[in-house]
Amino acid sequence: MSIERILDAVRSFDSVLVLEPAEGSGFPEIAWGDFFFYYAPDGQVPANVQPFGTIVTKNYPGDTGSDLDGAGRWRVNIHVGRDAFQELTGESTKDFAPRDFARTDVVMPHPVYGALGWVAVVNPGEQTINTVVDLLRNAHGDAKTRAARRAG
């Protein structure tokens, strides 16, 4: 599956902002080529809010377990919360087993942020693409609900 398929799905969500850092964007070079998904009805990156999902195309310092520096490798990361995390992985965010985080087309705990309710899929394919899109849709809905609570 392609990154574009996921981006097309996410861009169809209401009030979504897909941040795409690139050279000259003012964002750190490490983020260039990656994508960050926000619920943003005003089209601006919300203050003090993490994205509800991301696509990363390379290893980051301290996050190399998915081996994303290899050609054609990328990872979707989705904040699903603790309950959905347990439903998806069969494990607790507090105590999930070590694994091969470089496996492709498998929903698994995020190698760094799993304890915070994030899951990840390296190179989503036939086994996971529909789940990934559904999880991103749910994460978007959760972000929308949180924004409404913050607004009052």
Distance CA 59, CA 66 (A): 8
pTM more than 0.85: yes
Which residues are CB-neighbours of 141 under 8 A, at least 6 positions away? none
3-state helix, strand, coil in the chain (%, to 5): 30, 20, 50
pLDDT at position 11: 98
The residues of the chain scoring below 70 in pLDDT are 1
Are 67 and 41 in contact by the 8 Å Cβ rule? The answer is: no
Phi, psi (deg, nearest 5) at residue 54: -145, 160
pLDDT at position 94: 94
pLDDT at position 152: 84
**Could you tell me which of 16, 43, 20, 13 has the C-alpha nearest to residue 134?**
13
pLDDT at position 1: 66
Helix (H) or strand (E) holding 119: strand 118-122
Write b or e for each residue in 42-60: b if 16 or more Cβ atoms lie within 10 A of its Cβ, otherwise e: eeeebeeeebbbbbbebbe
